[in-house]
Structure 1
Amino acid sequence: MPESPAASTPYEVLGVAATVSDEELRRAYRRRLRVTHPDVGGSAVEFQAVQTAWERIGTPQNRAAYDGHRFADAEPHPTRTAGAGGRSGAGGGASGRATQSSGPKARMHGHPGGIARQHYLTLIKEWSGRGTTLADPYAPQLIRSAPREIRHTLAKALAEESTAQLISSLGIGYTAWHDVEAGHKGDKLDHVVLGPAGLFAIMSEDWGGPVELKRGELVGESLAGAKPIDALEDSARAFSRALRVKFTALIVVLPDAALNDVYTLPARGRRPILVVVPRSRLVGVLREGMLGMSRGSFEKVFELRSTLQNGIRLLD
């Protein structure tokens, strides 16, 4: 599976810059081993992470191979033609890529991952310094040396592109809008998907590490205090009020490696059911729904499509 740009690099695990000498790297490895060893009160998970990091960059050959490796699908792909009335379609994805089919694709509107791509390019140029010319903003060494919050914006773009690729495989009975304006302050919904199972608001994310659901919110070291479920609910609520529609479910889709299971939060008041799924389960949820979701009728889907097509605003 391709490496997530948001994941901790071996250099970060060892606590050194990517520019250190081989001898400095060796000293850092030995120091981290002593600190993280379970016999001296360290964490077994951190101890294993240190060993894995050393395996990846501990020799000059391995280090050169790691430093020269390009993140799979980090560079943008040409977009495909959108469905009727739409703009650019889905780009390629890093993981969870759908199998190509010769059958009709879902109607796709907007540019998945486009806003996140623009944000990444702005941040990486600002971080590189005024007057610096970046020959390749997706060069692997540049990505790995950037702060984690910048790498996360690229990981999010890749996640949105992967989700869009899966949605496009659902068939002509589905319509999807990407980078949708959700209300005020530039808030957005990554994807709005309409199909036989209902209307879904989807957030695509990749924080580069595992997460779990606790007390109604996703938590994990890689989230750095972010509250994604709160953000998704706020955006979905603003969208629903503006267009006077009701979502069947809210979905957070993450890389398979980030989740041990599917998490659900039952509907409460006007808030629809919320589901957190690994990417490999997304297509099944969009096709079949889940326990607690109310399935719409064909007539309702047809009416909703017209309402959404007339009311949705796509962000540039």
Structure 2
Amino acid sequence: MPDSPLSESPYEILGVSIDADEATLRLAYRRALRRAHPDTGGSEAAFHAVQRAWMLLGTPDARAAFDRGRGGLGADGAPTREAWAPAPPRPRRDSRPLARSHGHPGGFSRERYLTLVREWAGRGVELGDPYDPALVRSAPRELRHILADALAEEATARALPNLGIAYTIWHDLATDAAGPGLPPKLDHLVLGPTGLFAIQSEDWGAPVSFKRGELIGDGLAGERPFRALGARAKAIGRAARVKPTALVVVVPDEHAAESLQVGGSLRGATVALVRRSRLVSALRDGLPGSAHLGGTEVMEVRARLQAVVRFA
């Protein structure tokens, strides 16, 4: 996977400017490595981040590739290209029945990003590639967050069909209950025998955790994600005369201390923070304290939702 648009660049991790010479870069790497080492007060995550930054900048060829916006490392440490533009559909490798999906995941966020990045660049400025990594990294955090959200929604959408044929999924559902400054839509709604799940896919660029039934973290900037998610789910549920059984926020694996954390309930719905890699199994098994639905009930809820769902 490519880095998030909210990730620190390797220059920022090492604490040097992009025009630092080779000697300065090497000295900064050694100092950063000492600071980040767990034995000297750092952490394993910080230590690995410094090592990864050096792999991207430590040789002239690697640095030149990164500076051209083409350098990156995959989860396995192998070089890769940053892929923030929409990806083409992937061919299926098996014939298992998939969940039924409706809507365009990430579409609203991508359109919003493209509109705002052109406004930010300025009238008359030609943007050859609005997803160019150098351009994205130079954009304000608010714009990078919108693109990060689109990527997060698309990653969730790629995983959810693996729930199987018993489930139905809606993406980018329109709702008027977004609140000031928030997009007027619900990222995902999943219906199956283990419940009706309202899901928000997020990437705040930093870890989050529970406190008194709500999420806290350095990247939140005053947001109250579960309160907003509950309002969106309530608006759609009221129109369809159904109630969600769970409110789920999905984040990158490294942004949650545990794979699945339940934080109580809100308006009768179980509240949960889930790592992206754990999402499918969590929904398939059902969340602790979340009501399951009978076969007839699933059919009734699906019919009611299909009659009222609109897409953003």
The answer for the alignment partner of 1:192 in structure 2 is: 189
Q: What is the CA–CA distance in structure 2 between the aligned matches of 1:204 and 1:310, rounded to whole Å?
A: 25
Write out aligned runs for 1:57-76 (5 A): 57-67=57-67, 68-69=70-71, 72-76=82-86
Q: Distance in 2 between matches of 1:51 and 1:43?
A: 16
Q: Which residue of 2 aligns with 1:241?
A: 238
The answer to whether the 8 A contact 1:73-1:158 is kept is no
Q: Which of 261, 264, 269 is matched with 2:262 structurally?
A: 264
- Provide the rounded CA distance (Å) in 2 between the counterparts of 1:130 and 1:155: 24
Amino acid at match of 1:279: R
The amino acid of 2:118's aligned partner reads: K
The equivalent of 1:296 in structure 2 is 293
Q: Deviations over 1:229-277 (max 9, x none)?
A: 2221221222222322111111111111111212112225x33101111
Q: Is the 8 A contact 2:213 2:271 kept in 1?
A: no
State the AA in 1 paired with 2:262: T
Q: Which residue of structure 2 aligns with residue 82 of structure 1?
A: none
Q: Which amino acid aligns with 2:223?
A: A
Q: Which amino acid aligns with 1:200?
A: F
What is the deviation of 1:221? 2.0
How far apart are the structure 2 equivalents of 1:72 and 1:105?
29
For residues 23 and 121 of structure 2, the distance between their equivalents in structure 1, rounded to whole angstroms, comes to 25
* Distance in 1 between residues matched to 2:292 and 2:128, nearest whole Å: 50
How has the CA–CA distance of structure 1 residues 308 and 282 changed in structure 2, closer, same or farther, with 3 Å as cutoff? same
Asked if residue 179 in structure 1 is aligned to residue 172 in structure 2, the reply is: yes
Task: Judge which range, 302-311 or 180-189, deviates more.
Answer: 180-189
For residues 277-316 of structure 1, the aligned pairs below 5 Å read 277-315=274-312
Alignment of 1:1-316 (within 5 A): 1-14=1-14, 18=18, 20-22=19-21, 26=25, 29=28, 37=35, 44=42, 48=47, 53-54=53-54, 56-67=56-67, 68-69=70-71, 72-78=82-88, 100-184=93-177, 187-261=184-258, 262-268=260-266, 270-315=267-312
TM-superposed CA distance for 1:71, in Å, is 5.2
2:77 maps to none
Q: Which amino acid aligns with 1:12?
A: E
**TM-score, normalised on structure 2?**
0.82
Is contact 1:29-1:54 (8 Å) kept?
no
Residue identity opposite 1:133 in structure 2: E
Task: Report what 2:74 is aligned to.
Answer: none
Aligned-pair CA distance for 1:159:
0.9
Q: CA deviation at 1:175?
A: 1.0
Structure 2 residue ranges without an equivalent (≥5) = 72-79
Q: State the Cα distance separating 1:104 from its structure 2 match.
A: 2.4
Cα gap change, 1:124 to 1:25, in 2 (>3 Å):
farther
Structure 2: distance between partners of 1:170 and 1:75: 26
Would the aligned equivalents of 1:253 and 1:276 in 2 still touch at CA under 8 Å? yes
SS of the aligned residue for 1:62 comes to helix
Q: Which amino acid aligns with 1:288?
A: D
| Structure 1 residue 2, shift from structure 2 partner | 2.6
Q: For the residues of structure 2 that align with 1:197 and 1:107, how far apart are their CA atoms?
A: 16
Normalised by the size of structure 1, how large is the TM-score? Answer: 0.81
One-letter amino acid of the structure 1 residue matched with residue 231 of structure 2? D
Report percent identity of matched pairs: 49
Alignment CA distance shift 1:100-1:9 (3 Å): same
Unaligned runs of 5+ in 1: 79-90, 93-97
Amino acid at match of 2:5: P
Amino acid at match of 2:261: Y
How many residues get paired?
293
Q: Contact 2:214–2:263 at 8 Å: present in 1 too?
A: no
C-alpha distance in structure 2 between counterparts of 1:159 and 1:47, whole Å: 23
CA positional deviation for 1:27: 10
How far apart, CA to CA, are the structure 2 residues paired with 1:47 and 1:200? 34
Question: Judging changes above 3 Å, is the alpha-carbon distance between structure 1 residues 215 and 25 closer, same or farther for their aligned structure 2 residues?
Answer: farther
The RMSD of aligned alpha carbons is: 3.1
